[in-house]
A and B are shown apart, each in its own frame.
Chain A
């Protein structure tokens, strides 16, 4: 099984060699990309950046397919190939391949080759770096979660909220953390958080309980629904956002999918694509401009993507302020004429 998986991966091995624009004899940089769950937007943004900037790179792409046991093989392979840089996707890949700052083992981890990481929820919390200003070792990276305070400010800028509702899966730790943060910010900003965890039966969240929970929030008088970056809710986003729309509750999503592909009213996110580009920018600083990775701060993209779902807005008749509208990307149905 293990071996077959590796063979399958080996056959999927692909090489991208981009032509060097400025200097035809310039050797492309060799970058080892270790992914967790296949090729997605962050990887695409990473790759596109080099294309757009005319930087010749050779990408060696490996997908762990959410299988942690493959990661030691990746470490060995990257070392053996002697690549110029390693890209790691997600917290698991990053921690297993690069180690935490207090436990680095040159035998098990990549130490001599510079590395950049992306899509690590909490680079400092996961001990990848001691703090966000510098890794103090041979790695650099980006963060991708919008700080809760920024999310709340954005939400408030659409419409001041007095009672914020939140439906979540009590089994997911991320959501619990989000609820705590929201409660703290609510004390500061003067709003009350009303939580409605979905029912759990046999250790599994019950999909059918989502709509009643939303209705319950409506009864409790919430004026905005917060949709946390919760895997269970992401899967069942149509049910959740549909229920919110039916109850005429405007909804804010911390992830892009509920807004882009469902009926959440609006959201504020760092797009994976942009995060991938920013990670490539860090790689450029290391490879092309010869900067030490420790000198590069761990930071999110400069610009937040604000996404407004116009059909939902029209249905609710809760219109976005002009300033926000000017900054936002608008999702609209094709039959509606767009400017």
Chain B
């Protein structure tokens, strides 16, 4: 049932969001810039005066030694030095008493000569004069010798300088605006799905039943908006039909029980049967309410949660670096890597435990349980006074993160059926990636402004908000006890799966190196190296945002490609090699560009290979999936690849002191590329050997 194609509604609303957000931000920025420029002008005047006075003192000293003003030597170099030390000064000059330009650096004489000649007469003995020449503001200060005025020193600054300095604000504004648009998209998506498309889907289902004559259910919608109003009218109609039916049935019952004429009673019974044959009504006396779980219910809270967790992405290693390291057992680099590694270990543990616990307690409980360590971890991470403390709390945060994400995944897979599970999980991945995008970008801008620790508190606050939101949403849906796990097979003896060389190769040479690249290179080395090369936090964040951005785009097309062509193994192999090559670019070129390219390559690599990795499992582990259950096999893969997550930063931290930052990048890149190459070689043989089906017999 579509009211209006809800996709086009969403697009209309998105256009509205852009329309409502972008022009006022542009207008306000423009006004602010103008005001800021005006505010800085007086201070520029003073700076010019201070510089001018010092120049006058030096020129007067030379003049006093008997050097004629026009014969001063090395003025150009002298001015150049002052100009390079004071970038807001645009040019410096010396003119004679008649206003002729004797020396000038930083501007073209032609622009100024006429103005100086005009000014020359009036300057004589005053303390100085300011002149507006085009975009320049020119301050002239008299130079006096023994016999009075001998010339003047000119200090000029460019009003455009301020604009150019303030322009970098626009990057921050653009980041905030971009993130706002994504948040707006998420919220609007939520508003539309929750208020319009979700309820209308229920209505559509009821209508679908009704048009076949089944009036046993009504859409269970409680809302006081137009949809709610419609639902009430709709339900009233339903009740009307239903009550007519009840009335008839009651009447018939009365006739059948009360009537002395058996024949009439029988005929009444026939009528009842005919009605019941033509139409279906609820047996219990009133139409039941139809309610349904929607996979999109958890999207917004999940988005907020991941957003909160990603805030520290760009600065976690820097925060660790800034904390005192009491324990000297490990190298400083390993200490910096520790919080990331422990966080990853926390996630690994949490996922193992969460998977089992979700089946028993249901998504909502696990989500609530997971919130406690998540909030506590964020809060205490901000309060940490040492790296060990920070690592501990990151580990606990990781535990919470895993529980929450596992709960969300569980909810989605319960709310979907085989037909739309892919869409549901796609929505999950979309929410996680766009949250990573926003969180990383905003986190950098925020940490630069309010500091590392307070940023963690903001994270904690956002986690609480997402928890409240989800608590509210899940309450609206009856918590039908999650079904006991479908007898998916016996996980005992799962370790025998390693005998399947295809699985082992996939884990060792594709899944694990991908994670090593992610955590060792991207999470650990990239922020540290960028910080070490004098990049600001917002800049680091802007660079790191490239990863989720590229991944978002590439994974969208890669999934389609994989479904269409079924070239999954190839995608994994190419992705792995691409990632390794990207990281190694840092060794070939200097500067920030190779790092950025590396991040883009990595995003592309992971976007290309992540979902084919999972999709490949049923193909290469057909037997095991039958035997132990596909979920179990997938969970095993996810757990094993997290070994790479934990090892990544530690490995990078071991390389760092040996070969320096660049060496560590090259080393990590080589490891990743080497393992990917092994996978590529072995993957070529995936199709060889005993045919997949026939392996069943071999077992």
Q: Are A and B close enough to touch in the complex, i.e. CB under 8 Å?
A: yes
Cβ of A336 under 8 Å from chain B = yes
A8, CB-defined interface residue at 8 Å: no
CB of A236, distance to nearest CB on chain B (Å):
28
Contact, CB under 8 Å: A321 / B74: yes
Contact with B along A308-339 (1 / 0, CB 8 A): 00100110010111111110001010001111
Q: How far is the CA of A313 from the CA of B66 in the complex (A)?
A: 9
Interface flag for B65 (CB, 8 Å) = yes
- CB nearest to B68 among chain A residues: A319
Q: Which of A322, A336, A338 contacts B78 (CB 8 A)?
A: A322
- Within 8 Å CB of A323, what residues of B? 74, 77-78, 81
Contact in complex: A319, B64 (CB < 8 Å) = no
Please name the residue on chain A nearest to B81 by beta carbon.
A323
Kindly report which residue of chain A lies nearest to residue B58, judged by CB atoms.
A326
A308 nearest CB across to chain B (Å): 9
Cross-chain contact of B74 among A317, A324, A339 (Cβ < 8 A): A324
User: Residue among A317, A321, A322, A339 with the most chain B CB within 10 A?
Assistant: A322
- The reply on B61 being an interface residue by CB < 8 A is yes
Nearest-CB distance from A312 to chain B (Å)? 12
* B64 and A337 contacting across the interface, CB-CB below 8 Å: yes
Scan B63-86; emit 1 where CB is below 8 A from any A CB, else 0. 011110001111101100100000
Residues of A within 8 Å of B58, CB to CB, are: 322, 325-326
CA distance A325 to B61 in the complex (A): 9
Whether B65 and A310, one on each chain, are in contact in the complex, defined by CB atoms closer than 8 angstroms, is yes
Against B, the Cβ 8 Å flags (1 = close, 0 = not) of A283-326 are: 00000000000000000000000000010011001011111111
Partner of A338, one of B64, B71, B77: B64
Quote the shortest CB–CB distance from A186 to chain B (angstroms): 23
Indicate whether B146 reaches chain A with its CB closer than 8 angstroms: yes
A317 CA to B74 CA in the complex, in Å? Answer: 14
Q: Out of A321, A324, A336, name the residue touching B66 (CB < 8 Å).
A: A336
Q: Chain B 468-503 against A: per-residue CB contact (8 Å), 1 yes, 0 no?
A: 000000000000000000000000000000000000
Taken together as a complex, chains A and B put the C-alpha atoms of A317 and B64 apart, in Å, by: 15
CB neighbours (8 Å) of B64 from chain A are: 337-339
Contact flags A116-150 to B (C-beta < 8 A → 1, else 0) = 00000000000000000000000000000000000
CB < 8 Å: which of A320, A321, A326, A339 contacts B60? A339
Q: Which one of B59, B65, B77, B146 contacts A321 once the chains associate, using CB atoms below 8 Å?
A: B77
Of A317, A325, A332, A336, the contact of B62 (CB 8 Å cutoff): A325
Contact of A319 with B73 in the complex, beta carbons under 8 Å: yes
Chain A residues whose C-beta falls within 8 Å of the C-beta of B75 in the assembled complex: 321-322
Q: Closest B-chain residue to A314, C-beta based?
A: B66
> Most chain-A Cβ atoms within 10 A of its Cβ — which of B62, B67, B72, B74?
B74
Which residues on the B side are within 8 Å of A332 (C-beta)?
A: 65
Chain A residues with CB under 8 Å of B146's CB are 337
Residue of A310, A314, A339 with most chain B CB atoms under a 10 A cut-off? A339
Question: Number of residue pairs across A and B with beta carbons under 8 Å?
Answer: 52
A321 CA to B103 CA in the complex, in Å?
Answer: 13
Residue of B nearest to A159 (CB): B73
Q: Which residues of B contact A337 (CB under 8 A)?
A: 64, 146
Please name the residue on chain A nearest to B55 by beta carbon: A322
Residues of B77-102 whose CB lies within 8 A of A: 77-78, 81
Looking across the interface, which residue of chain A has its beta carbon closest to that of B72?
A322
The docked-state distance in angstroms from the alpha carbon of A336 to that of B146 is 11
A310, B66: Cα distance in complex, Å? 8
| Bound Cα distance from A330 to B62, whole angstroms | 10
Would you call A321 and B61 a contact (CB within 8 A)? no
Q: Choose among A310, A319, A324, A336 the residue that contacts B71 (Cβ–Cβ < 8 A).
A: A319
CA distance A336 to B60 in the complex (A): 14
Q: Which residues of A contact B65 (CB under 8 A)?
A: 310, 313-314, 325, 330, 332, 336, 338-339
A339 contacts across to B, CB distance below 8 A = 60-61, 64-65
Q: A337-B146, A339-B60, A339-B61 are in contact. Are A322 and B74 (CB under 8 A)?
A: yes
In the complex, which residues of chain B have a beta carbon less than 8 angstroms from the beta carbon of A321? 73-75, 77-78
* B72:A319 contact, CB within 8 angstroms: yes
Q: What residue of chain B has the Cβ atom nearest to residue A308's Cβ?
A: B65
Residues of A within 8 A of B59 (CB): 322
CB nearest to A321 among chain B residues: B74
Q: Which of A250-275 contact B (CB under 8 A)?
A: none
Complex Cα distance, B306 from A214, in Å, reads 84
A323 vs B58: C-alpha distance when bound (angstroms): 10
Which B residue's beta carbon lies closest to that of A330?
Answer: B65
Interface string of A18-45 (1 = CB under 8 A from B): 0000000000000000000000000000
**For A326, what are the chain B residues with a Cβ–Cβ distance below 8 Å?**
58, 78
- In the assembled complex, the CB of B448 is this many whole angstroms from the nearest CB of chain A, namely 37
Q: In the complex, what distance in Å separates the CA atom of A85 from the CA atom of B181?
A: 75
Interface residues of B in 442-475 (CB under 8 A from A): none
Whole-angstrom CA separation of A323 from B65 in the bound complex: 15
A323 and B67 alpha carbons, distance in the complex (Å): 14
Asked if A319 contacts B67 (CB within 8 A), the reply is: yes
Chain B contacts for A310, CB-based, 8 A: 65-66
Q: Which A residues touch B61, using CB under 8 A?
A: 325, 339
CB distance from A224 to the nearest CB of B (A): 15
For residue B138, give the distance in angstroms from its CB to the closest CB of chain A: 21
Which residue in chain A gives the minimum CB-CB distance to B77?
Answer: A323
Most chain-A CB neighbours within 10 Å: which of B59, B65, B67, B73? Answer: B65
Q: How far is the CA of A322 from the CA of B69 in the complex (A)?
A: 11
Q: Which residues of B contact A338 (CB under 8 A)?
A: 64-65
Q: How far is the CB of A323 from chain B (nearest CB, A)?
A: 5
Q: State in angstroms the CA–CA spacing of A261 and B387 once bound together.
A: 66
Residue of B nearest to A324 (CB): B74
With a cutoff of 8 Å between Cβ atoms, the chain A residues found around residue B77 in the complex are: 321-323
In angstroms, Cα B81 to Cα A278, docked, is 30
Which B residue sits closest to A323, measured CB to CB?
Answer: B78
Q: Once the chains bind, are B66 and A322 in contact (CB under 8 Å)?
A: no
How far, in angstroms, from A323 to B74 measured CA to CA in the complex?
7
Chain A residues within 8 Å of B60, by CB: 339
Q: How far is the CB of B352 from chain A (nearest CB, A)?
A: 57
- CB A325 to nearest CB in B, in angstroms, measures 6
Bound: A325/B74 CA distance, A: 10
Q: In the bound complex, what is the Cα–Cα distance between A320 and B60 (angstroms)?
A: 14
| Residues A174-203 near B (CB distance < 8 A) | none
A332 to B61, CA, bound (A): 12
- Using Cβ atoms and an 8 Å threshold, which residues of chain A touch B71? 317, 319
- CB-CB under 8 A from B81, the residues of chain A are 323
Instruction: Mark out the residues of chain A between 34 and 84 whose CB falls within 8 Å of any chain B CB in the assembled complex.
Output: none
**Complex: how many Å from CA A317 to CA B73?**
11
Chain A residues positioned under 8 Å from B66 (CB to CB)? 310, 314, 336
Residues of A within 8 A of B62 (CB): 319, 322, 325
Using CB atoms, name the residue of chain A closest to B103.
A322
CA of A254 to CA of B583 in the docked complex: distance in angstroms? 56
- Chain B minimum-CB-distance residue to A318: B73
Which parts of B202-242 form the interface with A (CB within 8 Å)? none
Contacts of B78 in A (CB 8 A): 321-323, 326
Tell me the complex Cα distance, A49–B62, Å: 33
* Interchain nearest-CB distance for B150 vs A (Å): 14
**Chain B min CB distance to A303 (Å):** 18
A324 to B65, CA, bound (A): 14
How far is B65's CA from A320's CA once the two chains are assembled, in angstroms?
A: 11
**In whole angstroms, how far apart are the Cα atoms of A53 and B71 in the complex?**
44
Please report which residues of chain B, range 258-289, place their CB below 8 angstroms from some CB of chain A when the two chains form the complex. Answer: none
Query: Bound state CA distance, A326 and B67, in angstroms?
Result: 14
Question: In chain A, what residue has the closest Cβ to B71?
Answer: A319
Query: In the complex, what distance in Å separates the CA atom of A321 from the CA atom of B61?
Result: 13
Residues from chain B with a CB closer than 8 A to the CB of A313 are 65, 67
* Known interface pairs A321-B73, A322-B58, A326-B58; 4 further A-B residue pairs with C-beta atoms within 8 A, sorted by A's residue number: A320-B73, A321-B75, A322-B62, A337-B146
Q: Could you name 17 residue pairs across A and B whose Cβ atoms are closer than 8 Å? A: A310-B65, A310-B66, A313-B65, A317-B71, A319-B67, A319-B72, A320-B73, A321-B74, A322-B78, A323-B74, A323-B77, A326-B58, A332-B65, A336-B66, A337-B146, A338-B64, A339-B65
Q: Which 10 A-B pairs have the closest CB atoms?
A: A321-B74, A322-B78, A339-B64, A339-B61, A321-B73, A319-B73, A323-B78, A319-B67, A314-B66, A322-B74
